Amino acid sequence: MTALAGSPRAVEPQAVADLRVAVVGSGPAGLYTAEAMVKQAAADGVEVEVDVLDRLPTPYGLVRYGVAPDHPSIRSIADYLRRVLELPRVRFLGGLCFGRDVTREMLLACYDAVVYATGAPLDKRLRVPGEDLPGSAAAADFVRWYCGHPDSDPAMFELDAEAVAVIGAGNVALDVARILAKPAAEFGATDVPEPVLAALAASRVREVHIISRRGPAQARFTPKELRELGEAPGFEVTVDPAQTDLDRFDPTGESSALAESDRRVRGNLAVIREWAGREPRECPRRVSVRFWERPVEIIGTDRVTALRVERTRPEAAGRVAGTGEFTELPVQLVLRSVGYQSVPLPGVPFDERRAVVPNAEGRVLGADGTPLAGEYVSGWLKRGATGVIGSNKSDAAQTVRALLADRARDARPAHRADRAAPRLAELLAARGVRPVSYADWLGIDEREHELATALGRGERVKLCGWDALDRACGRGRAARAGARP
């Protein structure tokens, strides 16, 4: 059997399988886990059923609600993940909030194993004064807004700021800066919701600062994404040429050593040096990339009016120290883009310090450090918010190897061995909860294609808000109420 040989339809698994697995989360981590389950189990001659649960009525997690709308090739990973959802042994159960509609106990009663793959939805904080002023927000909120996440208020970002500071030197900062700086017309054929397109068209943004507390060699950008920023239309990118002189800014020698040893760093430096050498030109918008500066205060009374940054200097082991030299940047919007973190799942062990589920190769560890029977984790919830989407594939394969090795070694739990385990569908029905099926999701999918055609806007335009999603998938208000955060 080829792992991705399913037909494009919603299939209800029929027979009682050897192994029944629930995967919580239908983003890349969850769906790569489902795919690995089907593939590896088939290789072991084990008949498996995988139910993939999600809080949202829509699958694909960050591929749908995190990848930038102008990155169609990364978005097309959804086509691959769709084929996983359409495997005969895989079933989508959307609109189920873990901890409310379904609990850990329910899943452990119904399945031989549960894999948690809920990602890292929470933004990290800066912990500087003024962070909660109107006009200061998480890049994660901005991303959810332009991706049309149903939890996001379409009116959240008016873009009436002329200058914006984006804090952090990772790929999310690049996405956010590019979306702010590109002309709105560039998004007409993308899937951004109509209110987002209108806000981008009315944007007053002229200047975006990307602020990195360390140097160009330590930035977490990847060269391809960095290069793309300089090639995008409608704005110019500037860098202080002096900052590209690594030894001048970093007498510790660490920057030069990184440039020598790390291909990604060399790629980034080539792009940054090319920008530093460009002749200034007239452009309606500008993105300036500023290194060796850290935010110390977001200034304003009713809303943000400036960002106070301190010049930093490198210390040993990649750390930085403040120099006492301060600058105030007049900005009206500050977006912190300093990484994501996972949130605890009710009843599931959680390492608060590392913000991950404690695990050994994907086996969830209890308080005494030993694996808990039947509980596994994959993706960002397992290893933290690092790596590109594809990194989740090998990560999921590792978790599934552990799960199948345990299953081959351990006897099936008694309630599973006599096949008397309850079915989740029955427990949900008893609680009056109706999950969103794959066929229901296809209703949303179709409606989004129709909307794009009606508006003359590309292939898909995202439906905005819970009510529109509920209508498109034929769900009533009562059924949906449980899925809201």
- Residue 46 vs 122, nearer CB to ligand NAP: 122
- 119 contacts 342 by C-beta, under 8 angstroms: yes
What are the backbone angles phi and psi of residue 91, rounded to the nearest 5°?
A: -135, 135
- The answer to whether residue 214 forms part of the interface with ligand NAP (CB under 6 A) is yes
- Residue 129 vs 432, nearer CB to ligand NAP: 129
- 216 contacts 258 by C-beta, under 8 angstroms: no
- The answer to whether residue 28 forms part of the interface with ligand NAP (CB under 6 A) is no
Distance CA 258, CA 271 (A): 16
Distance CA 379, CA 392 (A): 5
String of contacts with ligand NAP for each residue 29-48, x by CB under 6 A? --------------------
382-401: contacts with ligand NAP (CB under 6 A): 385-388
- The answer to whether residue 172 forms part of the interface with ligand NAP (CB under 6 A) is yes
- Residue 225 vs 254, nearer CB to ligand NAP: 225
- The answer to whether residue 216 forms part of the interface with ligand NAP (CB under 6 A) is no
By CB under 6 A, which span of 262-270, 273-281, 380-388, 476-484 interacts with ligand NAP?
Answer: 380-388
- Minimum distance from residue 353 beta carbon to ligand NAP (Å): 15
Torsion angle, alpha carbons of 392, 395, 397, 398, to 10? -170
Distance CA 22, CA 54 (A): 11
Per the DSSP assignment, residues forming a β-bridge with 364 are: 359
String of contacts with ligand NAP for each residue 247-286, x by CB under 6 A? ----------------------------------------
- Minimum distance from residue 406 beta carbon to ligand NAP (Å): 29
Per the DSSP assignment, residues forming a β-bridge with 336 are: 138, 167
310-339: contacts with ligand NAP (CB under 6 A): 337-339
By CB under 6 A, which span of 101-109, 215-223, 299-307, 363-371 interacts with ligand NAP?
Answer: 215-223
- 95 contacts 474 by C-beta, under 8 angstroms: no
Contacts of 405 (CB under 8 A, 6+ apart): none
Distance CA 132, CA 147 (A): 23
Q: Which residue number places its CB atom closest to ligand NAP?
A: 170
According to CB under 6 A, which one of 111, 157, 249, 340 is a site residue for ligand NAP?
A: 340
- Minimum distance from residue 320 beta carbon to ligand NAP (Å): 7
Catalogue the E-assigned strands of 41-190.
48-53, 90-93, 113-116, 122-123, 136-138, 163-167
With CB under 6 A as the rule, give the number of residues binding ligand NAP: 26
- CA 20 to centroid of chain Cα atoms: 27
According to CB under 6 A, which one of 55, 91, 209, 213 is a site residue for ligand NAP?
A: 213
Distance CA 201, CA 375 (A): 47
- The answer to whether residue 309 forms part of the interface with ligand NAP (CB under 6 A) is no
Distance CA 414, CA 469 (A): 41
- The answer to whether residue 171 forms part of the interface with ligand NAP (CB under 6 A) is yes
Distance CA 29, CA 48 (A): 18
**Residue ranges binding ligand NAP (CB under 6 A):** 74, 126, 167-173, 175, 212-214, 218, 220, 222, 225, 294, 337-340, 385-388
